[in-house]
Amino acid sequence: QAVVTQEPSLTVSPGGTVTLTCGSNTGAVTSGHYPYWFQQKPGQAPRTLIYETTNKHSWTPARFSGSLLGGKAALTLSGAQPDDEADYYCSLSLNYAGVFGGGTKLTVL
């Protein structure tokens, strides 16, 4: 069964830069896996930050960007703010089905 892996937790300093990654046990992640990145704060529904590797929504802060890096999908946060503290999930399309990673708890400290 396909498994998507994320760092369980990361910490970034205010104003700092951090990269979250999203890998697959089936091999290198490509744009054909349609990587998505979601942010979820306590008690709220997830919201999509990045879809299909690099695309942003109108509500996506400019400090977030998506890419492919070293065989994984990556979400880079440049200039972290306290409001960015949240859980971040990625998803990939594997064998025509969606699969979520376990999530990364990002602390801004």
Partner 1 sequence: QVQLQESGPGLVKPLETLSLTCTVSGDSVTSGSYYWTWIRQPPGKGLEWIGHIHYSGGTSYNPSLKSRVTISVETSKNQFSLKLTSVTTADTAVYYCATTKGYWGQGSLVTVSS
- Choosing from 3, 57, 81, 109, the residue that interacts with partner 1 (CB under 8 A) is 57
Strand (E) or helix (H) holding 99: strand 97-100
Residue 46 within binding range of partner 1, rule CB under 8 A: yes
Contact partners, residue 106, CB within 8 Å, separation at least 6:
9, 10, 11, 12, 18, 20, 77, 84, 85, 86, 87, 88
Contact between 32 and partner 1 (CB under 8 A)?
no
Residue 15: CB minimum distance to partner 1, A: 27
Minimum separation from the CB atom of position 108 to partner 1 (A): 21
Q: Contact between 96 and partner 1 (CB under 8 A)?
A: yes
Choice between 2 and 69, CB closer to partner 1: 2
